């Protein structure tokens, strides 16, 4: 069977590359804080960004910031951004948001989880395992918040 012609309008979704875009580790109070016996408080913040880098090519990145503190002193801070480049063509416009906000982050996130756990372990601490994320619920919450904000702008004008 012959290759499909270049003018084919069938949907395309391909992972081009997954890579660690940014990684930072800080231990501002070491070594003194390592002698503390108290359990640190852990705060984890996640974010998703997406953008077009070329025609039909998009970068989606998931960012995690893990901060551990004992009282008001930082034990360690890890910031990591894992990204993926995706070729996405011939999809209906109404499907692009869910693809960029749900499907792509679900592909990238396991790599981010591994990078964060490995970095924390290599820093000499027990690993912090990022929990599974329901990107669909996260996306829907963001859409609802954006719609609510848009609605309040209309009311206040």
Hey, what CATH topology would domain 12-126 get?
Bacterial Protein-export protein SecB (3.10.420)
The chain-wide mean pLDDT, for the chain, equals: 90
Can you tell me the mean pLDDT for 120-138? 91
Residue ranges of the domains in the chain?
12-126
Question: What is the pTM assigned to this prediction?
Answer: 0.84
* % of the chain residues with pLDDT over 70: 92
Q: Convert the pLDDT of each residue in 17-37 to its tens digit.
A: 999 999 999 999 999 988 888
Confidence of residue 2 (pLDDT cuts 50, 70, 90): low
Residue bearing the bigger pLDDT, 1 or 43: 43
HEC per residue, the chain: CCCCCCCCCCCEEEEEEEEEEEEEEECCCCCHHHHCCCCCEEEEEEEEEEEEEECCEEEEEEEEEEEEEECCEEEEEEEEEEEEEEEEECCCHHHHHHHHHHHHHHHHHHHHHHHHHHHHHHCCCCCCCCCCCCHHHHHHHHHHHHHHHHHHHHHHC
């Amino acid at each position: 069977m012959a290759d499909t012609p270049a003018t084919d309008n069938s949907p395309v979704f391909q992972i081009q590359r997954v890579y660690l875009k940014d990684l930072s580790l800080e231990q501002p109070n070491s070594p003194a804080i390592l002698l503390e016996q108290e359990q640190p408080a852990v705060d984890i913040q996640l974010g998703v960004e997406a953008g077009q880098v070329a025609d039909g090519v998009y970068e989606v990145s998931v960012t995690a910031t893990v901060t551990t503190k004992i009282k008001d002193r930082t034990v360690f801070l890890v910031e990591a951004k894992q990204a993926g480049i995706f070729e996405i063509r011939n999809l209906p416009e109404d499907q692009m948001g869910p693809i960029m906000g749900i499907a792509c982050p679900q592909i990238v996130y396991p790599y981010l989880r591994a990078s964060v756990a490995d970095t924390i372990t290599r820093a000499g601490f027990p690993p912090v395992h990022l929990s599974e994320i329901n990107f669909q619920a996260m996306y829907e919450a963001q859409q609802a918040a954006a719609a609510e904000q848009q609605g309040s702008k209309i009311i206040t004008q």
